[in-house]
A and B are shown apart, each in its own frame.
Chain A
Amino acid sequence: MNNVSAVTKTPNGTETKVFTKHCISITINDRSEKLQVQPWVSLLDALREHLNLTGTKKGCDHGQCGACTILVDGKRINSCLTFAIMYDGADITTIEGLAAEQLHPLQQAFIEHDAFQCGYCTPGQICSAVGMLSEGHAHTREEVKELMSGNLCRCGAYTNIVDAIMEVKESRYDSI
């Protein structure tokens, strides 16, 4: 990690504090990226504002809604509640990185099961479901509901979201 110093002055100019910008390298959706961030830039803002990956959504910005869910080293996290600077060297997957030549099975299943209305929570729902299926702790419909509880859907598409996940879990996920 290389650091670049920057000087910030308070409005009246009497006090000078030195804050440091940091250069970090991350792999996002199989692409290497270098970016320079101030320490207080959330990982979510780094994705959306610095890398123009706006598929990941900002809902509550407090870790309560799950719209910002992404996969870091394969694990689902809330990108709003962490700082980009802490992810030097990390491997990140966002909703933009799930589809290859075809849609990811979960993306296809969400379409087939009408698992969204406005769609704002959908990228987070899908990334969360990918993370949940690889964790391997959800076996029943009830367990899927419990382990998807970190993703809110204000349109109330929950039933169809669970339908979509259950179909992928039971029929297709093992083959991808």
Chain B
Amino acid sequence: MTPFNYLLAKDLEEASTLSQQHANSEFISGGTNLIDLMKENISKPDALIDINKISGINEIEELHDDGLRLGALVKNADTAYHPLVQKNYPLLSQAILAGASPQLRNMASNGGNLLQRTRCYYFYDTATPCNKREPGTGCSAIGGYNRIHAILGASENCIAVFPSDMCVALAALDARINIFGSDGTRTVAFADFHRLPGDTPDLDNNLKPGELITSIDLPAEGFEFHSSYLKLRDRTSYAFALVSVATALKIEDGIIKDARLALGGLAHRPWRDVKAEEFLKEKEPTAKNFSTAADIILRGAKGHEHNAFKIELARRAIIRNGLTAVN
């Protein structure tokens, strides 16, 4: 690990200022991914800015529009087990509890969950080329061992996947992300936060330098009656998803009135396809209709040598989880 200085920020303004004063700095909250990256010499900050003592961003509170605000510093476990999350957003609770381990969920913050980096083995192996770690060096996963890699939205520069479970549910729920920076505050729709790799796979998201996530807002509609998160992986617990599906439905008189389908483990960000969701509207929630929706989502899917199985696995997961969400 590269030596660094430790700076404790007392409020958002100070955190932002310190970040500008130290160009090669990182904010730290839970640190469960960042410290691992530092141990592997992938992240080498000169300074860590500890944001854990900043007040006002460590609460879960109801919003005036009946939505819910999740503070950036609230731990993943406290979010998943919060009574209002469990009651109104069971999809989110289920997705968080499908990720990591209980110890890590006690440490990891909500803001940090959005900012975790891929677990692509080549990204972690500094002896191999990786465009995400060192732009311009090449992608070792393309033509390498790529069982865990992307089948949607990838580029010739990077086929890494985004590892979060929580974010798959947040994508399905149309969450909004509140951000603080030197230019003031701004709010970003969840769909506009994470990036596809394109020509700049080193950029995971659209946060600007010095900006901090302060909270995540959930809209009032939580799809609490018909939602489900399905995670398929190599062991039954404590493993990253090969394929995951967040399904949220609004059903009236046996007809789908609103549908959300978000996929994890398949792309550089949680994957949604509005065309598939539109197709399901005003239809019956049958295996056949979920199968057609899956075909729409996966129409551009491209497998590599070791991960082509994910295409069929995703199709079956979408159908199975659709039927689970109905009941």
**What residues of chain A have their CB less than 8 Å away from a CB belonging to chain B?**
1, 8, 17-20, 22, 38-40, 42, 61-63, 66, 69, 75-78, 81-83, 85-86, 128, 131-132, 135, 137, 145-151
A76 and B52 contact, CB distance less than 8 A: no
B55–chain A nearest beta-carbon distance, Å: 16
A76 and B237 contact, CB distance less than 8 A: no
User: CA separation between A131 and B104, bound complex, in Å?
Assistant: 13
Interface size class of B (residues with CB under 8 A): 20 to 34
User: CA separation between A84 and B103, bound complex, in Å?
Assistant: 17
Can you list 19 A-B pairs, Cβ within 8 angstroms, ordered by A? A17-B46, A19-B5, A39-B5, A39-B48, A42-B35, A63-B36, A63-B104, A77-B103, A77-B107, A78-B107, A82-B107, A83-B48, A86-B50, A128-B103, A135-B77, A135-B102, A137-B81, A149-B237, A151-B101
List, in ascending order, chain B residues with CB within 8 A of A137's CB: 81
A122–chain B nearest beta-carbon distance, Å: 16
B4 and A76 contact, CB distance less than 8 A: no
A83 and B31 contact, CB distance less than 8 A: yes
List, in ascending order, chain B residues with CB within 8 A of A78's CB: 32, 103-104, 107
List, in ascending order, chain A residues with CB within 8 A of B5's CB: 18-20, 39
Q: Which 7 A-B pairs have the closest CB atoms?
A: A150-B101, A149-B237, A39-B6, A149-B238, A150-B103, A78-B103, A75-B106
- Of residues 215 through 267 on chain B, the ones whose CB sits less than 8 Å from some CB of chain A are 237-238
User: CA separation between A66 and B32, bound complex, in Å?
Assistant: 13
A8 and B3 contact, CB distance less than 8 A: yes
List, in ascending order, chain B residues with CB within 8 A of A145's CB: 237
> A82: which of B4, B35, B77, B238 is its contact (CB, 8 Å)?
B35
A88–chain B nearest beta-carbon distance, Å: 9
User: CA separation between A82 and B39, bound complex, in Å?
Assistant: 11
Given contacts A78-B107, A146-B237, contact A63 B6 (CB under 8 A): no
> A62: which of B30, B31, B36, B77 is its contact (CB, 8 Å)?
B36
User: CA separation between A81 and B1, bound complex, in Å?
Assistant: 13
**What residues of chain B have their CB less than 8 Å away from a CB belonging to chain A?**
1, 3-6, 8, 28, 30-32, 35-36, 38-39, 46, 48, 50, 52, 77, 81, 100-104, 106-107, 237-238
Given contacts A66-B103, A81-B31, A131-B102, contact A150 B4 (CB under 8 A): no
A40 and B102 contact, CB distance less than 8 A: no
User: CA separation between A148 and B30, bound complex, in Å?
Assistant: 20
**Contacts A19-B5, A39-B6 known; 8 new A-B pairs at CB < 8 A:** A8-B3, A66-B103, A76-B102, A81-B107, A85-B6, A135-B81, A150-B101, A151-B101
User: CA separation between A115 and B20, bound complex, in Å?
Assistant: 52
List, in ascending order, chain A residues with CB within 8 A of B30's CB: 82
List, in ascending order, chain B residues with CB within 8 A of A149's CB: 101-102, 237-238
A158–chain B nearest beta-carbon distance, Å: 12
User: CA separation between A145 and B8, bound complex, in Å?
Assistant: 38
B50–chain A nearest beta-carbon distance, Å: 6
B106 and A83 contact, CB distance less than 8 A: no
List, in ascending order, chain A residues with CB within 8 A of B238's CB: 149-150
User: CA separation between A19 and B81, bound complex, in Å?
Assistant: 40
B103 and A40 contact, CB distance less than 8 A: no
Residue among A8, A61, A81, A147 with most chain B CB within 10 A: A81
Chain A residue with minimal CB distance to B101?
Answer: A150
B1 and A40 contact, CB distance less than 8 A: yes
B32 and A63 contact, CB distance less than 8 A: yes
User: CA separation between A132 and B77, bound complex, in Å?
Assistant: 12
List, in ascending order, chain A residues with CB within 8 A of B46's CB: 17
> A69: which of B50, B52, B77, B103 is its contact (CB, 8 Å)?
B103
A12–chain B nearest beta-carbon distance, Å: 16
